[in-house]
A and B are shown apart, each in its own frame.
Chain A
Amino acid sequence: MSEGIGARVLRKEDKRFITGKGRYTDDIIESNQAYAAFVRSPHAHARIVSLDASAALAMEGVETVLTGPELVADGIGNIICGWGITSKDGTPMNMGAWSALATEKARYVGDAVAIVVADTKSQAKLAAEAVVVNYEELPVVVGAVEALAPGAPQIHDNAPGNLIFDWEIGDLAPTDAALASAAHVTEMAITNNRLAPNPMEPRSAIATFNEAEDHYTLYTTSQNPHVARLVLSAFYNVAPEHKLRVIAPDVGGGFGSKIYIYPEEIVCLWASMKSGRSVKWTSDRTEAFLTDAHGRDHVSTAKIGFDNDGKIVGLKVNTKANFGAYMSLFSSAVPTYLYATLLSGQYDIANIYCDVQAVYTNTVPVDAYRGAGRPEACYVVERLMETAAREMGMDPAELRAKNFVRSFPHQTPVIMAYDSGDFDANLKQAQAAADVAGFAGRKAEAASRGKLRGMGYSNYIEACGIAPSAAVGSLGAGVGLWESAEVRVNPVGTIEILTGSHSHGQGHETTFAQIVAERFDLPTENIQIVHGDTDKVQFGMGTYGSRSGAVGMSAIVKAMDKVEAKVKKIAAHVLEAGEDDIVIEGGAVKVAGTDKQMLWHEVGLAAYTAHNIPEGMEPGLKESAFYDPTNFTFPAGCYICEVEVDPETGVTEVVQFVASDDFGTIINPMIVEGQVHGGIAQGIGQAMLENVVYDAAGQQLSASYMDYAMPRADDLPNYSVHHASTTCPGNPLGMKGCGEAGAIGSPPAVINAITDAIGNNNLSMPATPAAVWAALQDVSQKLAAE
């Protein structure tokens, strides 16, 4: 069937997106709508001495001005972190309070202090400027290392020394012993730069309190509207769950930043109740830089030891993770269970130890961003491997292959049990596509043009399909990470799939339809995907961590199993055959080997008329399922990057980028390639362009596109994307996930290539022209001194 699994079906959703007919949160207009503007702290750390809203309240069109103390008085709860982490010494994490509107202190530039609601956006903004806040400025700290230093400004009273937790994984003593006995140890200081997520659509919310029905509706830019509803009701007390409908309509990208329930959504709901108006807020781009959760921001030291034969004997990592001013929803899971558990990479390593200090600073809160912890782990491991190979005079691919895990399942010393993979296959496929053998010739040719050519590898592995509920629960998660689905076959045979996954660019409306088309041998145009509305879909955990395929689609498969069983029962009854003899194909339900059949829609009709169904069977044809995965999935692959550096300016061009990925079963290769292209673009962005920079006063110097360099088409190469897949044994479709791999695997490949080209390993991300040029000067100085 041409539209089933493996087909390059064009995206069903693209017609509305490409023709500008998408319906995003800011497009929603309620009859009684007012606009919100937030009063935000211009200081990174300041005590709020007084707040005077009288001038603002007197301005034209202003409905209300509401502040933190009023929010607290109304019982609106503090913002939660959904994952509890226990420190080395057994103590729980030190979490400071985060009120959706600051009460006593502002802790980062952009911290919301008050909301202004007015008839027009312009009136709201003008009035917000007229709210007079008296601040007493406090000392500021922006870096994780500086925030841990003695005497650093104290940001939350209950996190002494700004330390949120000091967590560890693995065994220290055997790792130290292994490193002490190693024939070669490679040691590096590694920084993972802070990124701003920059989805194309900024965050937006419109909240409506219907007093007559005592009911709330929230349209919001969310990757998981069901979790938003749960948290808004259970923890923030804005409305009981059955009185709150959350809708995430078309959402223009998230990359993690739209997982969280932010202060603005909470406050808009509350302000709607207070004002009796629908309250709409849409972030502008500056607000997005100032308030969307940032990603990454790790400072690490790492040591890896090898025996005489190049086999890894131990790996030890210390990481200081900058959490920003408050603990965001999944902030604590990112540099712990999503990071250190992947430090084994693709390698068989007996001894691993990692400890992580989580630190408050006067910066935007940091949370999951495309890859979330796994890019940071991959960067540590793959920078170490490339560097170690250079230090030992070995071929970097050979050193990696020497250490590959080759038998599955493989239990690492850091929790993860890899279920499948063929790392040799990915390496070989990538090497062939990259023409590694021809590199020396290309390098010489580049040199004749005055260019420095370099090549770098990255053999990544990551964990997706999060996650088995009981397992994550035992590690501190506050939720289960299953997914739900409902399959509704209509009386005319068309199908609606209700899913708890949420599509914000991934193409679910197409790929989810494909698995149904495959199963029931129907055209995808007969299948509709419904998602993103808590009144329509029963529940769901949403989309992040590349989980929509491995977990979300698995739930659909489970529901389809039930539908198929019922269809066969009905057909067997009507056609007077045995259930085992019934087959579904070509739009019909047939008795195998005979010409007896019912058309697919006739079965639907039979189920709903219920004139002739098996005795005792309930009418209708609608089934639901909850699917809880049994393990993480482990996408892996090999990326090879080739660059050319202009030594006069430091300008680096990525001239070739080859990816060989193992994503398990691929539903739609076109969409998967798109995910890989986008992921690599973000990875190259991190490696060469993007960087959030703060000054010492905690002001973001890079808070606009004048200074924050987003990757553009001419910064990027033509990708060479390949697949060498093994089937994932953990879920019914054999899928692993593809949404984050590109962003996880690519940064070390790029930096390994640039450092190879310039002959200096002392280079941090982003490798801007200025940074590469400076590293080149460093080399010439070293050479001159020798």
Chain B
Amino acid sequence: MYETNFHKAATAQEAAALLNRSEDGKILAGGQTLIPTMKQRLADPTDVIDVSAAADLRGITIAGDQVTIGAMTTHAEVAGHAALAALCPSICKLAANIGDPAVRHRGTIGGSLANNDPAADYPAAALALNARIHTTSREIAADDFFEGMFTTALEDDEIITAVSFTAPAKGGYGKFPNPASRYAMAGVFVAKLADGSARVAVTGAGEDGVHRHDGLEAALSADWAASAVDGVEISLDGLLSDLHGNAAYRANLVKVMAKRALG
């Protein structure tokens, strides 16, 4: 790890101010990505701003069918939240299958969305649930937030404060874990919105990170059933080939995981 300046912020705004003042600062949330990257000397931030004490970034609030999850809420908190599970069980199940217990008790939803790892789980949920990403300066629709792998609409000194969404009528997540990392080799989040339309987001399988799938959305908007997925052609264009599997295999996984997401 290279030397860095460590700061601890008490609020999101204080963290944003510190970030703004630093030459090349980074927010430290759960540290499950940032710390290993720094230890491998692949990241060299001038300043690290710890937001674990920022109470305004924590917690899950539910108002009717409106869900708001603070950026610093850990995966374990989401996985174990009874009221959320009653309203939107799919996101709890997704969180429960991220990494291992240690990762789930440190890693946060804000860190996961900001990082936008092309194989991470939460980006698929945010995109399929048509979520809104709240930051220290604005609100961004999920459709506008994810801009390709490890890239988001966030400005340099902008911090995610929360993510909110309307609970879907139905939802589910099918994840095929990479045998080594256990991130998603293909993860498909399906959501049936209140108006009956379907949104489907795919993570892990694409060359450029999380994306929506038009074919699956059309099929599921017409008929919310696993059998509807059968007829959908999954194009190999833009799908990832790597040492764990080629595009044809990932296309197959997208289909199978979509069906399994439907339960």
Contact = CB atoms under 8 A, between A and B. Distances in A.
A and B associate in one complex: yes
B41 A648 contact: no
A702 B243 contact: yes
Contacts of A650: 249
Contacts of A122: 1, 3
A10 interface: no
Interface string A766-778: 0011100110010
A709 B40 CA distance: 19
A777 B249 CA distance: 10
Contact of B249 (A125, A286, A773): A773
Given A122-B1, A768-B244, A773 B179 contact: no
A61 to B, nearest CB: 13
| Chain A binding surface, main DSSP class | loop
A730 B209 CA distance: 62
A708 B256 contact: no
Contacts of B243: 691, 693, 701-702, 707
Interface in B247-263: 248-249, 252-253, 256
Give 9 closest A-B pairs by Cβ, nearest first. Answer: A770-B245, A709-B180, A709-B179, A706-B181, A770-B249, A693-B243, A648-B256, A707-B180, A701-B243
A612 interface: no
Q: Which of A689, A702, A709, A770 has the most CB of B within 10 A?
A: A770
Given A702-B180, A702-B243, A709-B180, 6 more contacts: A122-B3, A648-B252, A768-B244, A770-B244, A770-B249, A777-B248
Nearest to B179: A709
Interface string B177-197: 001110100000000000000
A392 to B, nearest CB: 33
Nearest to B243: A693
B174 to A, nearest CB: 10
A768 B181 contact: no
Interface string A676-711: 000000000000010101000000011001111110
A691 B243 CA distance: 10
Contacts of A648: 252, 256
B180 A705 contact: yes
A134 interface: no
A723 B191 CA distance: 54
B176 interface: yes
Interface in B20-46: 40-41
Given A125-B41, A707-B244, A773 B252 contact: yes
Interface string A631-672: 000000000000000001110000000000000000000000
A18 to B, nearest CB: 19
Given A693-B243, A707-B244, A769 B179 contact: yes
Nearest to B249: A770
Contacts of B245: 768-770
B246 interface: yes
Q: Which of A648, A702, A705: most chain B Cβ within 10 A?
A: A648
A633 B205 CA distance: 50
B179 A649 contact: no
9 contacts: A122-B1, A648-B252, A702-B180, A708-B180, A709-B179, A709-B180, A769-B179, A769-B245, A770-B245
B176, B249, B256: residue with the most chain A Cβ atoms closer than 10 Å: B249
Chain B interface size band reads 20 to 34
B220 to A, nearest CB: 19
B119 to A, nearest CB: 9
Nearest to B1: A122
Contacts of A710: 180
Interface residues on A, range: 20 to 34
B246 A707 contact: no
Contacts of A286: 40
A702 B181 CA distance: 11
B229 to A, nearest CB: 12
A125 B2 CA distance: 9
B256 A649 contact: yes
A649 B180 contact: no
A338 to B, nearest CB: 29
Interface centre among A126, A691, A708, A769 (most CB of B within 10 A): A769
Contacts of B2: 126
A689, A691, A702, A706 pick with most chain B CB within 10 angstroms: A706
A693 B241 CA distance: 14
Contact of B253 (A649, A706, A708, A777): A649
A707 B181 contact: yes
A241 B245 CA distance: 52
A649 B176 contact: yes
A692 B176 CA distance: 22
Contacts of B183: 706
B256 A689 contact: no
A127 B8 CA distance: 30
A768 B179 contact: yes
A23 B12 CA distance: 44
A691 B180 CA distance: 10
A710 B179 CA distance: 9
A706 B180 contact: yes
A709 B181 CA distance: 7
A774 B244 contact: no
Contacts of B253: 649
A705 B183 CA distance: 12
A138 B103 CA distance: 42
Contacts of A707: 180-181, 243-244
B141 to A, nearest CB: 31
A189 to B, nearest CB: 21
A649 B3 CA distance: 45
B64 to A, nearest CB: 38
A777 B3 CA distance: 52
B106 to A, nearest CB: 17
A705 B181 contact: yes
A125 B44 CA distance: 14
Contacts of B256: 648-649
Contacts of A773: 249, 252
Nearest to B41: A125
A195 to B, nearest CB: 14
Contacts of A701: 242-243
